[in-house]
């Protein structure tokens, strides 16, 4: 059985697949906990953007699938989060502002920072 642990909205933008024009949007999301998952190799949580460009942008959440949120030195740490890369003349691109995504994932990020990477001790981490 799965349960929704958090819901809310995040801000971002759509880039039109035909014109390239950018339009600001607010997206609804939900984070679900999957009780049968065994971390770290399977994701206990997932996030779903409910009103995205395809209608079902959904991603597993764990420190292996989103490592840049626990490493401020990572080059993509400060960039917007891509929920859909788009296809020219077919699907729009969908982006969520990084600060909004970090706020939505705040509790998960704090958990990830406490977990060692495979073969690493927690005390060895420099976060």
Query: Does some domain include residue 127?
Result: no
Q: What is the DSSP letter of 97?
A: -
Q: Which helix H or strand E contains 59, and what residues bound it?
A: strand 57-61
Query: Does some domain include residue 123?
Result: no
| Cα 65 from Cα 40, distance rounded (Å) | 10
- pLDDT tens string, the chain, 127 residues long: the values are 789 989 999 999 999 999 999 999 999 999 998 887 665 556 788 899 998 888 878 888 876 666 556 565 666 556 788 889 899 999 999 999 988 988 888 888 777 777 766 655 544 445 4
Query: Does some domain include residue 24?
Result: yes
Residue 125 is predicted with a pLDDT of 47
Query: Does some domain include residue 120?
Result: no
Query: Does some domain include residue 66?
Result: yes
What total number of domains does the chain contain? 1
Distance from CA of residue 70 to its chain's centroid? 12
List all residues 6 or more positions away from 27 whose beta carbon is below 8 Å from its beta carbon.
9, 10, 11, 12, 49, 50, 51, 52, 83, 94, 96
Residue 127 is predicted with a pLDDT of 45
Residue 78 is predicted with a pLDDT of 62
Query: Does some domain include residue 121?
Result: no
Residue 80 is predicted with a pLDDT of 85
Q: Which domain holds residue 67?
A: 2-115
Residue 65 is predicted with a pLDDT of 65
Query: Does some domain include residue 64?
Result: yes
Residue 8 is predicted with a pLDDT of 95
Query: Does some domain include residue 125?
Result: no
């Amino acid at each position: 059985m799965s349960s929704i642990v958090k819901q809310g909205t995040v801000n971002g933008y759509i880039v039109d697949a035909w014109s390239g024009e950018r339009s600001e949007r607010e997206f609804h999301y939900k984070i679900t906990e999957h009780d049968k998952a065994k971390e770290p190799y399977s994701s206990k949580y997932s996030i779903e953007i409910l009103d995205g460009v395809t209608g079902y942008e959904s991603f597993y959440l764990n420190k292996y699938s989103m490592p840049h949120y626990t490493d401020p030195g990572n080059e993509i740490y400060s960039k917007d989060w891509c929920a859909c890369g788009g296809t020219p003349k077919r699907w729009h691109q969908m982006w969520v502002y990084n600060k909004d995504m970090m706020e939505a994932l705040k509790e998960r990020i704090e958990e990830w920072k406490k977990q060692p990477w495979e073969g690493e001790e927690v005390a060895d981490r420099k976060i």
